[in-house]
A and B are shown apart, each in its own frame.
Chain A
Amino acid sequence: MSNDNKSNVVIIGTNEYPPMAEGKIAVDFLAAMKASETAQRGRQVIDLRKDVITDAVRGYILALEKAALKFDTQAVYDQAHEIRGLAATVGLEASGRIADGLCKYIDTASRLGVTIDPAVINLHVGAINCAANAKDDATCLGRQVAAELSALVTHKLAR
């Protein structure tokens, strides 16, 4: 343990507190975390849940649309946040990215005290829904929409 008297900072070294794992346990754990078989099992877990999570994302999109109709920005943020957290895990990458952009817009506008534009919300909500239902979510079209919406948000906030 070292003490920097000037700034009253104490540094506690890695050998001065209990490790999460050590010795053979640590070696075995690291080997497992770096094994391709482990990654394969993990991917299978995600694949097995794909349908359930996709249905859940569609439910969040419905709730998002309802919140947008009421212009309930907190509810819009909450639903978009759930979508950005889950959508890309099951391959709905464009939906996740657009939802992330919507969250960033609401968050930044709220912190800066900027009036939130319902048109920006509606454009994002429509795009999230379209991207989630498109067969080509992973193509450049979805990414293009996400990029253009991001540019719109940057423009609005800059103004």
Chain B
Amino acid sequence: MANSFENLRALVVEDNPHMRSLLKSLLHAFGIKQVYEAEDGDTAYSVLCDRKPDFVLTDLSMAKADGIDFTKRVRTDLESPNAYVPIIMVTGHTERPRVEAARDAGVTEFIAKPITAQNLMLRLAEIVERPRPFVKCDDYFGPDRRRRRTENFTGPWRRAEDRDSEVEVR
């Protein structure tokens, strides 16, 4: 981990050169100086192994290996350098099946395009301020997918841990 937030390392995975360049410039403007780039999931995985970024922004659709394949590989590959790395999916896909597939691959947060400085900053703050527990089961490894916060909910609870865990909705 870096000893100053300016030394945090980011990886931007995006096949559209304009969006990739925009995301990189936004991160620089936010004060993050080390931003690595990749235009597909396979290249991104190599960069992840070499550079060990502290967080990842990835597109969903890419020609060679897409954001879902990449996320699954990061989360489940036995040789993954950091299966817990925060992965923010920046996507124009609003079709429910695609979003659910990305969530089930283990992404940490979503940002729907169009990208704005504010929504990127919000998501980056979110992954530091409110990290989520990870869940490991037969068919999933990744951040806890339950996002519902019901302030006045007193039960019934699905699991004993639910009493103590904060569950959010957005």
Contact = CB atoms under 8 A, between A and B. Distances in A.
A49 interface: yes
A11 B133 contact: yes
Given A20-B54, A30-B125, A46-B22, A25 B5 contact: yes
Contacts, number: 156
Given A17-B134, A85-B92, A86-B16, A38 B121 contact: yes
Contact of B29 (A10, A18, A28, A38): A38
Contact of B31 (A11, A14, A38): A38
A87 B5 CA distance: 31
B95 interface: yes
A53 interface: yes
Contact of B135 (A9, A43, A53, A111): A9
Contact of B125 (A34, A44, A103): A34
B97 interface: yes
B84 A8 contact: no
Contacts of A100: 92, 94
Interface in B1-57: 1-5, 8, 16, 18-19, 21-22, 25-26, 28-31, 54-55
Interface residues of B, number: 56
B120 to A, nearest CB: 7
Given A33-B122, A41-B29, A49-B22, 7 more contacts: A11-B134, A20-B85, A29-B8, A42-B29, A49-B21, A53-B22, A84-B92
Interface of A: 2, 4, 7-14, 17-22, 25-26, 28-30, 32-34, 38-39, 41-46, 49, 52-53, 56, 81-82, 84-89, 93, 96, 100, 103-104, 107-108, 111
